[in-house]
Structure 1
């Protein structure tokens, strides 16, 4: 850096040396200075006169441009162009003289156009050429130069106005106002500069006048002083120029790289480039320009875009522009790097926004303050059928109205004008005249003063939405399977019919229809067959009762019908008789044919109830009575039926209370090995200790529990109790025996049954083979396709399964091959006829043969006499269970029975004749 300063100082001394020689010529210059002073006066007068003309042209140019901004008349623009051309011509002549370039004839013509006095042209030329030595002249010329860029801005504004007025539509007033304000701002800058120019020239004239009056000696002294001042200013200006250049070079917002034009070696780089690349100056000056960029540089003669390598932050994109420059006395290339990353990102965002606007399915329109459409995206054409050209200029709400045909209310536009939004459904019309429902959202873009500048409308065709809404409303009021009314809608119609009947003093009847035998069909076939059967039956009911009767499906195979406007409820008897006849006709579903009946209960307003709820309860009671008495018939409600319904409701309440109050208990009936008489298992039998009725057997409440959805909780309780009892016997030292538990189809088929059973066994800590699950063939049938999965899961767990009441169901023999099935329990209906009934003998022998062939254990149920015991023993049955051996006993009696000897060894069970124990009750 010091070498650079010394070189510059030597160069400066060489530049100042001619001034020393000038001192010797002062005397010679005295007369010349006097003459020169006179010429300067003439020059200054010419300058001031030219400045007056120039100021006039400048003001006239501003006036003409302002008029053009207001009126748009071409004549104003042309007048401005003429005045601006003269001003620019003066500026060109000035710069040509200052730099000693340009054709003299062209300069003279420029002086003529600028109205400069011919006698002053020579002095002006000299002053412009050498005026930088004179402070006031330098400041005047500098003020004149500063007006060039502002004149250029006026030309730029003129170009914008010309482009705006020649475009369609005309520019908005706000834009014109903005341009007029810019014209005034430029004029406000030029005027002070003109005053500076005039004042500096006037100061010069005064200085020259004083010099003329002081005489020759004063001229000599002044010349000397001017020489000294000029020399000082040359030094300062050079130094300042160098510092200013260095500051501009380093502090420029754009990157600047100076390179050798032949080798592309970096000679210098400003601080911005170093900051962008993270490289220091020494590193750069040892590399070529190419290392700064990710891609190879193409011809530098034209602008190009490159991505900086290792930029901070990453991904900076710059635009390269080349220019030639002098650097340390040599010709170099100056590469300007302009950061365009943000601009590219903004361009990308605008492109994405435009594509998004074009790609969305909703129509988007932008309208002016007059509500005329200025922009519409492609979705508008697709929705409305209007082309883009047809939509532009169209009033936004011209094709939209309320659903009653009235135009959109004025309150909408008032809300929008206040800066709010509006969203609602309107009726819109397409180009071909069709109307469709539309969801319309309106908002506004407000100006700085709160005025509406744009309306933005977003809309979509909601025809399909409306259709879906109607479908949802239908689903909300109708059964999804049969299409009949659902319970909610049926009750609503009941309330309406009762209100009308009350005012007209008429009767209303409600039918409660329950299909007979449908449960058997549903259990015997898959649910698809059952669903198809329900659909066909529902259609029969609807067609048979006619359109005036409201028919609903309220669950499963239960239907209700509302018959309004009757004289008495008995008027429906003929209608119901016809319905029963129609329902009893065979129904074909695929390859199957079914014959179903129905039990129908009838309740009438006002005799059997005053509201829909009481009528439904009464009709249900009448239906239940019909089902219990005869089936495939109907009954009118009577108060006695209500007692039965109340009894069933009371039973449901008592069952729920029994679960919470621990009123259930278990009895255990031994299962005896026939060859030895040893107790090898017990069957856990559920009992209900009713606080009023004593011990209640399962046959009295299990079916009700299934209907009320309580059977799952009862199954869980039974399993818990049995597993807990096994654990208690193990702790008491009771010899291990098998415990059989009966489960319903609900408990057996519930999701997660095997997992919960495994956790239960692990919690109580016994071998899973100690527990046996008894299920009937009917349960196996209800499990359907899940049977094999359940059996495999139980087999993997180690829990055996016994098929209870074997031989009485309708299941396939294929079930006997399933894993986990280890026992067959021969039903008591076959054992009771032994040994005298040959048919029972044949059946038992056949079943035992099947069991032996499949490796299954057999248990005979209902053994009550010695002859039955002896027959089963000879026939090869392994175990027996019945009153001949023991009645159901409580857990303590089983424990005493098994632990009768000190060694806790099982003893052969003596046959029970009239022994003590439980009462003679069945399971």
Structure 2
């Protein structure tokens, strides 16, 4: 009832406010109507007066007076209200004469009396008053015009003057009249907004008060039900009210809704037994255990207790379900833990606070052979010792008691009396007070893993191929040897051993044979080692040997001699008998360095000196060796700049036809004008260029220079001789080599037959199958190919069968002792016979005597080179020799003494 009374009051208030708003709207409508009449009358006075002034029509004068009376009546009412003391009836009659709606007149009087200074209203009244004098002047003009028309028609000048006055007054009145109308309209709109806001605010306040009252009343009504529902829904167990007769659910609490994943309204009316997984219900004493299934598939194990009650005349069973999933899971975890403990591979010991064994698993029995019956009431640390044989220290138990976990290696014993290394992990289980209640020890037999670790440590420190120490292990031993030598005022020596020409073994046989050879070398080095000596393989065919316990480094010479002799003995590798030699460099502490890295580097420098000077020998380190190395580095830096500085040039050594002595070809020989060291021969910088990767750039420069020179000789109309140039293996085997030859020939516009490339046997061996492809491509271009230094490498007659070989150059080593050496005679004659039968032109190198020339001519050699004819000459000298009118006519070049 209070809510009903309150609602009626709110409705009544809203109706009253609405009636008041309607009355105000009527007032505003009347006010706007009066304003419209006043404005219209004012404008009409001007129109009528102006028309009367023009034509003197009495009807216009009468209309002017009627409209003037409306304006004057409204003005009088306004001024009367403004004075504050007025007769409401007289004011109402004045407004009525002005044409204002009677129902709106009281409201207009109220607004002019109380809201004359309201927004927009004050400005409107000000504009209204501002034209009073102008209206009166219009009335004066009307009187003057009436008097003038009564006396006859006024003159044109008089009418024009009066019309001008009317226009001026109208120009003053019209804007203020418009502004008055606008202000009245805006004021009416403002007042309407205020009215709406007030009405809305009042209605909202009344509604808010009613809603507050409704909340308090409804809260008191729901109090009892909410208390019951709160207790019902806040229960941790699921509660379901079930119709005992039909088994349908009548109500559930929030927990039951959450567990089933259904809204309470959805559960009402469902069959209670349908909530459980089929066949999962089973009795457990006075309760029932089953699997409650949610709509999302989640299943939880619940224990249900039921009690019967009555709702009115309806028997209802209250089912209280408790979630026992955690209890079931815990029981399952205990069972799994028990089974896991029995099945794990590691041994597990559980002991009490005194470390007496209470439980062990089967793996412990398998590892140690001890049964639980034997170990019970024994401390598990009695059968374990530290690796040094001492008992387990008390610090272990202190660490575990403080909450830590101790893991370490111990020595343990089996039941048969044997011992084994064991990884032992000890942790503690505490009671509620934090005191140790049980110890849990996990044991692992690490016999195999320890052996594997030792094997890995060995592999990390040793070369996998030879079994010798690797670089890091060698440096470690070297550091110890230096420390020992420093304490004893003795010496230690490092030998750097490098096999001579080992690469040729890999290239000639195979890398597998090379690896077996390295193993043999390692065995022979190990055979020579003493008690304090260590050998290592630091890479490729490089070995190092550390000799400790020396008095002076010179004692290392005896070991080096023995090692060279041992390595020079033939080695049988499969079906091959290989003879090797080595170059050894020796550096000693303290004379040559006090750091392992420095000693190895200095021994390496000494080895390089031995290999450069002689091979199959040893050298002690001297500081000058590093100076030579620095000089090689400086020469390498200069070589990188030589191409950019245009420091290379060519000389040409003629190749003559032995039968006629005519120059038929020249060989382009590269020279380097070093800015400080003068002219350098190829032997001094070509190996360095190959190691620095510059040889292809140098070969490319040589080819361009040769092509340009041939082009120049052709322009001079010289005989078309052949020009030979050397090609390195890196250039000859490069994929872009053939294309670069084509480009050089095209840019220089010379015939391909003018060029011949010389390639050595060793280069052919290195290139392998790519050699024949490149030779075939050059032959297809028309470029000649010569095998250089034939007979000095790993000669194979298979090379001569390759398509594209046009020339065979016999090395100077076979020509030097001709014709006195019968061996050289036989070899050269065999070479010439083979080449002749294969249709290959032969060229002999290094001819320096007439006897050599005559022998080769008789033997059938076609061409020859050497100092007997000429050394390498500048291009201008070659031009002079090939000129049609040479300054000398000798049929054969003069013998030139060698440099």
Superposition TM-score, scaled by structure 2 size: 0.50
TM-score by length of structure 1 reads 0.49
Larger radius of gyration: 2
